[in-house]
A = this chain, B = another copy of it.
């Protein structure tokens, strides 16, 4: 992935550009732009910048309860006594928590699956944190589970699997509404989204 044989003939700018372009969303041109920016920048900045990468990678671990990224054993959300304890929102990745928290509308607990079920990628239910979710349901007093997996084939499969798994238990199960994005245009909405939006139509 990184330094192979060919790299012996590359200079340090080329290696830097190659490494930067392996980051998600960064093409070769953006990588070159960032590399030349870094070369022009103050050395103290570079030091702080590389340190912040190593720092995050060293310090951040998964919360023992929900799986969210945290610097402590238990994450801020799980240890917050002001949050509702009887409702869990199940998400695929820790970054999904940040997005939901930004809305400010949810005040319950989270559970991070760290992935989704995907037979193509060889990821079954045992490879993601579903067992841990079941253990939490035994220990904690949960009345509602919101399944907030991505609206993709894998996300929907995962949601369906969890739904069937918990069917016998006396827990209210919900999932995020699918439909028109706010500010979107009916004319340009894809068929599947519009279909779900009609199926999930709300009373006025």
List of B residues within 8 angstroms of A32 by Cβ: 95, 98
Once the chains are docked, how many angstroms separate the CA of A52 from the CA of B69? 26
Pick from B3, B24, B35: contact of A34, CB under 8 Å: B24
CB within 8 Å of B: which of A1-41?
1-3, 11-13, 15-16, 19, 23-26, 30, 32-39, 41
Beta-carbon contact of B15 and A56 below 8 Å: yes
Contact bitstring A51-65, B, C-beta under 8 A = 1, else 0: 011111101100000
Q: Say yes or no for A49: interface residue by CB 8 A criterion.
A: yes
List of B residues within 8 angstroms of A67 by Cβ: none
Q: Say whether chain A's binding surface is mostly helix, strand, loop, or mixed.
A: helix
- 30 pairs across A/B with beta carbons < 8 Å? A1-B45, A2-B45, A2-B48, A2-B49, A11-B70, A12-B52, A12-B55, A12-B56, A12-B59, A12-B71, A13-B56, A16-B53, A16-B56, A19-B52, A23-B34, A23-B37, A23-B38, A24-B37, A25-B30, A25-B33, A32-B95, A33-B95, A36-B94, A38-B53, A38-B57, A39-B57, A41-B57, A49-B53, A50-B53, A50-B54
Besides A13-B56, A46-B53, 15 other A-B contacts (C-beta < 8 A):
A2-B48, A3-B48, A12-B52, A12-B55, A15-B56, A19-B48, A19-B52, A23-B38, A24-B33, A24-B37, A36-B94, A36-B95, A38-B56, A38-B57, A46-B54
